[in-house]
Amino acid sequence: MNLFVANWKMNMTRAQARAYAEELGSRIGDGSDGAELVLAPPFTAIEAARDPRGRWSLGAQNLSEHAAGAFTGEVSGAMIAEAGCRYVIVGHSERRTLFGEDGPLLSRKLARAREAGLVPIYCVGETPRERAAGSTAAVLARQVEALGDDPTDRPIVVAYEPVWAIGTGLAATPADSASAAADLRELLSPRRDLRVLYGGSVNPGNARQLLASGGVDGFLVGGASLEAATFAAIAGAAIA
């Protein structure tokens, strides 16, 4: 089933999340046939974004590399799972570039996610400079090394998010997406339950084409997920 994840980033108070959930619920009615929807709010709005009818599930945007203890300001996988999340985003490019998260750290976060029973949404993608140098495939191969110790018999979601496409309005072409998705499926071929997403300036106008020819199972959506109507329209592209 196609998977659509709304990455709200550092947006949405609890009140805004409640209003969004109400709007999304009214847009999708009895459910979104053929599409699995996930909202990834800030930690504080996870509970407010919950759907009592279970038409979408929840994800966190980050987790601690530690299980518990004296780590002021951190949030553990167990806390996230207990708050009602099924998923957790690991290795988003903003975490990599703004917060210096690298492969070894991300491996530890993946392990904590598994211990908590969370399904990781592991993000990869090349920078503009890496793309210009023609090293996209090498970058993806290096970034998936963080999954080396992750059990291959568990479900995993890998999001191809080229850094140059995130928040720029310049989405990858379906051909770019298809090429990266094929590389990722090859790199992760022992895995039986792998879904590959595309992320980076997805909107209702490009969603259908990217889904039809981009070689992916859905999207990780940032800016365009901040309006429930727009997020529902993107998911609607799959069902159409």
**Would you name the residues annotated as active-site residues?**
92, 161
Kindly tell me the sign of the dihedral angle through the C-alpha atoms of 71, 50, 61, 143. Answer: positive
Give the x-and-dash track for 165-204 against ligand PGA (CB under 6 A). Answer: -xx-------------------------------xxxx--
The CA-based angle 120-131-210, given to 5 degrees, is: 60
Q: Give the C-alpha separation, 239 to 194, whole Å.
A: 21
Q: 81, 85, 124, 224: which one contacts ligand PGA (CB under 6 A)?
A: 224
By beta-carbon proximity to ligand PGA, the closer residue of 81 and 221 is 221
Residue 5 CB, shortest distance to ligand PGA, in Å, is 8
For the chain, the first-to-last Cα distance in angstroms comes to: 14
DSSP states of 185-208 as a string? HHHTTT-SSEEEEEESS--TTTHH
Applying CB under 6 A, among 48, 110, 178, 220 the residue interacting with ligand PGA is: 220
Residue nearest to ligand PGA (CB): 222
Among all chains, which residue has been given the structure tokens 């909107």?
203
Does 217 bind ligand PGA (CB under 6 A)? Our answer is no
Dihedral-angle region of residue 2 (phi above 0 means left; psi in -120 to 50 means alpha; beta otherwise):
beta
CB of 37 to ligand PGA, least distance (A): 15
Name the minimum Å distance from CB 95 to ligand PGA. Answer: 10
* Interface segment toward ligand PGA; rule CB under 6 A; list 56-64, 95-103, 129-137, 160-168: 160-168
223 binds ligand PGA (CB under 6 A): yes
Among 90, 118, 221, 228, binds ligand PGA (CB under 6 A): 221
Nearest-approach distance from CB 161 to ligand PGA, in angstroms: 6
Could you tell me which stretch among 42-50, 59-67, 179-187, 215-223 binds ligand PGA (CB under 6 A)? 215-223
Q: Which stretch binds ligand PGA (CB under 6 A): 21-29, 30-38, 131-139, 221-229?
A: 221-229
Q: Which of 80, 151, 64 is nearest to 114 (CA)?
A: 151
The span of 30-38, 114-122, 150-158, 217-225 binding ligand PGA (CB under 6 A) equals 217-225
Q: Residue 105 corresponds to which tokens in the numbers above?
A: 């750290």
Q: From the CB of residue 51, how many other CB atoms can be counted at a distance below 10 Å?
A: 16
The contacts of residue 29 (CB under 8 Å, 6+ apart) are none
DSSP code string of 152-175: TTS-EEEEE--GGGTTTS-PPPHH
Would you say 38 and 57 are in contact if contact means Cβ atoms under 8 Å apart? Answer: yes
Chain residues 91-150 in contact with ligand PGA, contact rule CB under 6 A: none
Q: Which residues bind ligand PGA (CB under 6 A)?
A: 7, 161, 166-167, 199-202, 220-224
